[in-house]
């Protein structure tokens, strides 16, 4: 047992006179006498003494688990049960915290804020309802719609954020509506409203910067309604307005999505036309800028009178067929045709076993280019012993033993032509041969008793004369070959190639410059 001395209100006593008295020494189980004094202390010194009668000595009994020492009706303390202890706690009220009412052990009961348990709602009836009543187990809720009905003079009308959950009614003679951006305070995520157009004309709803299901503005046809909600950035339809005939599908949320849903391809947005990136008009004159592929046998050309002509390609098709820029008729390979103005230029073209007719044809005739008109001309066969000669760039038959031409003259400006010729100077003279050709031969000499100087003139074209010592050539293009001016001067030159004349035969003194 543990002895506890309880001070009963001793500390609230006023000061009393100090008394000098011996302090009782109590042993275990000792009793305190009423006349015994117990000192109180201030520091280490006794001060005021308290009579023993003011103290109580309690010997506490042992108590059971989960109990509390206390009293229900007053008197000596006893061990209280949980039930007795709970009875000492004030019930909770609006002004005083405390114990809650006992659990009803019923899953259909809920604790209300007024401190009472009540049964959960089991039925809600939507109808006219009764304003201001408290729902118990059943409840009738009013279906009256909250609306915002601005007058016709308020338009254009800016929908306020107080229309959250309300319907805006556009009256007769109303007008356009606007609404703040979906990011504006009061119009953020969760805001929703609806609009009913009771006017006889269509009106538009336009948000500031935001869109409504991707559209910058939405037309609301006469007699129609729409509903929208905000995600904090843009608005979206919860119920889009019906399509208006007068808007010609301009009120579609997405024209491209609508085309996809209808199964329309890219041709739905392409223009018709006769050229460019358009859908061709089959009754028009079309210009195709890209290569078109038509299967062999699929291209039929209708005759002006009747019938069709089918164009076929080879089984392994390749190559390019170019048509002439002319109004003409194409000639087929297996048809009989007369050709005019045709030229065969390729070296791979050949005439095999062809019968040609050029007028009064005869055996041995020769056909040549007849002149500047490039017309093939027939040259009749010559006589026995004739040689084919050329005069004025045209062929002819003549004697094969004709002598080289001979000319005489003096002074300057004299020329000779190939392949061979003679020239006799009757006084001092200048003779200029043509540009050398291998095998050309020319002889120039003084006439009898003539002592004039003979000059073979500059040839040009980098051509030059060989000196008579046959050791070098003169200057290319501008060089000359000059005699000493004596009786009997003579020189014969021979073309070596296209730039050199040799001087194998000469009489007199000659200088190549």
Domain coordinates in residue numbering, the chain: 1-24+31-69+80-86, 149-244, 406-512
The Cα 219–Cα 231 span in angstroms is: 21
pLDDT tens-digit readout, 93-139: 878 887 777 777 777 777 777 778 777 766 665 544 454 455 666 66
Q: Under 8 Å CB-to-CB from 383, ≥6 apart: which residues? A: 397
Pick the CATH number of 406-512 from 3.30.70, 3.30.420, 2.60.120, 1.10.3470: 2.60.120
User: Residue 350 above 70 pLDDT?
Assistant: yes
pLDDT averaged over every residue in the chain: 80
CB 442 within 8 A of CB 421: yes
HSE of 5, CA atoms in CB hemisphere, 13 A: 15
Q: For tokens 């919860």, what's the residue?
A: 238
Half-sphere exposure of 177 (CA within 13 A, CB side): 29
Distance in angstroms (rounded) separating the CA atoms of residues 80 and 78: 6
- Tell me the pTM: 0.31
pLDDT at residue 50, rounded to an integer: 53
pLDDT of residue 479: 95
- Going by pLDDT thresholds of 50, 70 and 90, the confidence category of residue 396 is confident
337-341, 352-356, 451-455: range with lowest mean pLDDT: 352-356
Joined together, the tokens standing for residue 111 give 């604790």
The residue ranking higher by pLDDT, 20 or 508, is 508
pLDDT tens per residue, range 131-141 = 445 566 666 65
Token pair belonging to 455: 């000059």
pLDDT in tens, 154-182: 999 999 999 998 999 999 999 999 999 99
Q: For residue 331, what are the β-bridge partners?
A: none
Average the pLDDT over 12-34 and give the result. 44
More confident residue, 333 or 228: 228
Helix, strand, coil shares of the chain, percent, nearest 5, are 5, 35, 60
Determine which of 261-265, 352-356, 404-408 has the lowest per-residue pLDDT on average. Answer: 352-356
| CA atoms of 383 and 288, how far apart (whole Å) | 64
Helix (H) or strand (E) holding 168: strand 167-170
């Amino acid at each position: 047992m543990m002895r506890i001395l309880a001070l009963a209100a001793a500390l609230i006593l006023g000061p009393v006179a100090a008394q000098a008295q011996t302090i009782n020494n109590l042993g275990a189980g000792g009793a305190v006498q009423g006349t015994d004094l117990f000192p109180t202390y201030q520091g280490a010194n006794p001060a005021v003494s308290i009579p023993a009668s003011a103290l109580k000595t309690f010997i506490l009994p042992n108590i059971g688990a989960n109990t509390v020492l206390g009293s229900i009706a007053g008197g000596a303390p006893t061990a209280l049960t949980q039930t007795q202890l709970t009875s000492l706690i004030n019930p909770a009220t609006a002004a005083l915290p405390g114990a809650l009412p006992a659990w009803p052990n019923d899953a259909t009961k809920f604790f209300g804020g007024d401190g009472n348990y009540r049964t959960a709602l089991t039925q809600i009836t939507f109808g006219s309802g009764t304003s201001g009543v408290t729902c118990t187990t059943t409840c009738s809720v009013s279906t009256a719609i909250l609306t915002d009905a601005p007058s016709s003079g308020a338009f254009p009308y800016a929908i306020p954020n107080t229309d959250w959950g309300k319907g805006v009614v556009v009256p007769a003679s109303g007008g356009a509506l606007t609404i703040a951006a979906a990011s504006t305070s009061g119009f953020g995520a969760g805001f929703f409203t609806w609009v009913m157009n009771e006017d006889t004309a269509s009106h538009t709803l336009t948000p500031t910067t935001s869109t409504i299901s991707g559209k910058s503005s939405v037309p609301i046809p006469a007699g129609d309604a729409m509903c929208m909600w905000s995600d904090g950035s843009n608005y979206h339809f919860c119920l889009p307005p019906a399509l208006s005939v007068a808007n010609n599908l301009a009120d579609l949320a997405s024209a491209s999505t609508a085309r996809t849903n209808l199964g329309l391809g890219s041709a739905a947005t392409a223009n018709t036309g006769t050229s460019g990136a358009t859908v061709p008009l089959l009754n028009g004159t079309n210009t195709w800028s890209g290569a078109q592929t038509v299967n062999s046998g699929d291209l039929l050309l209708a005759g002006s009178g009747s019938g069709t002509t089918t164009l076929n390609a080879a089984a392994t098709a390749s190559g390019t067929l170019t048509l002439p820029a002319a109004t003409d008729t194409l000639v087929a390979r297996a048809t009989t045709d007369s050709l005019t103005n045709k030229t065969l230029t390729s070296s791979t073209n050949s005439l095999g076993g062809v019968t040609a007719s050029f007028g009064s044809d005869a055996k041995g005739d020769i056909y040549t280019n007849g002149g500047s008109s490039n017309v093939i001309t027939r040259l009749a066969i010559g006589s026995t012993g004739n040689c084919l000669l050329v005069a004025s760039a045209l062929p002819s038959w003549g004697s094969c033993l004709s002598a080289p031409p001979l000319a005489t003259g003096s002074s300057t400006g004299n020329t000779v032509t190939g392949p061979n010729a003679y020239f006799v100077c009757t006084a001092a003279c200048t003779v200029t041969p043509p540009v050398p050709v291998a095998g050309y031969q020319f002889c120039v000499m003084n006439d009898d008793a003539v002592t004039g100087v003979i000059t073979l003139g500059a040839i040009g074209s980098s051509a030059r004369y060989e000196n008579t010592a046959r050791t070098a050539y003169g200057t290319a293009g501008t060089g000359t070959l000059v005699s000493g001016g004596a009786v009997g001067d003579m020189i014969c030159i021979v073309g070596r190639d296209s730039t050199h004349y040799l001087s194998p035969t000469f009489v007199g003194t000659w200088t190549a410059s």
